[in-house]
Amino acid sequence: MNNKKMGVHILLDLLGCPGEKLKDVETVKEICFKTAEDAGLSTLKSTFHQFKPHGATGTVLLAESHMHVHTWPEHKSVAADVFCCFLNEGNIPKAKEKAEKACESLIRNFQPEEVFKDVKIR
């Protein structure tokens, strides 16, 4: 079995977010693209879905890997994950920096009252 680490994976639970930011897929999409830009990540492709009556989910495929965001306006919560691959062993600090910057941007843009964050090197 290969035990080589491949990247940095951060899971976020954002609680107590303003509900208006979570209802509309266009707002969620805007936040995701802003997050990728803020973190210096390269967007390849994306897909988003608007739930009825409200809430959104989205995936952004990145050259560095991916970002997923799921919103529940009725609970004022967002679940997100960001994965940045290393590309090579020398890029571990760079991958971690980009993943952390993406999380900082998601937190800044969704404005939660509470943040739960789980960081793993995988």
Active site amino acids: 65, 70, 85
Q: Are strands 77-85 and 65-72 parallel, antiparallel or unpaired?
A: antiparallel
| 66-71, long-range: CB < 8 A, 24+ apart | 67/32, 67/35, 67/36, 67/41, 67/102, 69/28, 69/31, 69/32, 69/106, 71/17, 71/22, 71/23, 71/28
Cα(45)–Cα(33) distance, rounded to whole angstroms? 11
